[in-house]
């Protein structure tokens, strides 16, 4: 299993440098750290601060604010990387997706976007019950969330589907955390 630092480093490497895409409601972003996140972490931040963010600062933000603070460490190790990656990408929605999955699996948890004893215990029980399928099911639920977001917000479709019709970054990102047999083929994706 990868360490939190290794996962955070991969996120920074994948996300790349500074962007300020008008179609992205997050605004100015570098290494997937948004201007809003910088303001929450530092108390004040400008676009210049976002542009000046270093890789090591981004990694520290991810570890502290996107792994430890939301208590992802309480989840089974098998889903930690995927939930962590999703939390960086979509905040508390990462936990809501997990909680909805747990409810669908028959566990009585609240869908509040927070990891507490109830969610952690249910996730551990789900992991024991489903084994590797639990992480795959989370990856599929995550992918479905991205499809739904792209359907609801037209400007975001480019993150789910590339211009050439292939899988966009959101879909590729979700599928990284599931076994290959659960990833969509290009034909399935086109459907």
How do the pLDDT tens digits run along the chain, 191 residues long? 678 899 899 888 888 789 888 888 888 889 989 898 999 998 888 899 999 999 999 999 999 999 999 999 999 999 999 999 999 988 999 999 999 999 999 999 999 999 999 999 999 999 999 999 999 999 999 999 999 988 898 888 878 888 888 888 889 989 989 999 999 888 888 87
Please tell me the predicted confidence (pLDDT) of residue 4. 87
Burial class, 138, CB count within 10 angstroms (exposed 0-12 / middle 13-18 / buried 19+): buried
Please tell me the predicted confidence (pLDDT) of residue 187. 85
Please tell me the predicted confidence (pLDDT) of residue 1. 67
Q: What are 163's two structure tokens?
A: 């211009």
Question: Using CA atoms, how far apart are residues 155 and 133, in angstroms rounded to an integer?
Answer: 33
């Amino acid at each position: 299993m990868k360490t939190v630092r290794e996962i955070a480093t991969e996120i920074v490497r994948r996300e790349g440098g500074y962007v300020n895409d008008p179609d992205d409601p997050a605004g100015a972003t570098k290494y997937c750290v948004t201007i809003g996140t910088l303001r929450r972490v530092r108390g004040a931040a400008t676009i210049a601060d976002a542009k000046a963010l270093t890789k090591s600062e981004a990694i520290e933000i991810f570890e502290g604010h996107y792994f430890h603070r939301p208590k992802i460490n309480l989840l089974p190790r098998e889903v930690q990387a995927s939930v962590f990656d999703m939390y960086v990408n979509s905040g508390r929605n990462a936990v809501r997706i997990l909680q909805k999955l747990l409810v669908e699996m028959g566990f009585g948890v609240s869908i509040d976007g927070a990891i507490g004893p109830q969610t952690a215990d249910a996730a551990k029980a789900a992991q024991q019950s489903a084994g590797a399928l639990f992480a795959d099911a989370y990856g599929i639920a995550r992918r479905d969330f991205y499809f739904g977001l792209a359907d609801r917000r037209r400007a975001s479709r480019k993150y789910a589907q590339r211009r050439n019709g292939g899988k966009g970054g959101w879909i590729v990102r979700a599928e990284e955390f599931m076994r290959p047999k659960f990833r969509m083929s290009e034909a399935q994706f086109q459907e």
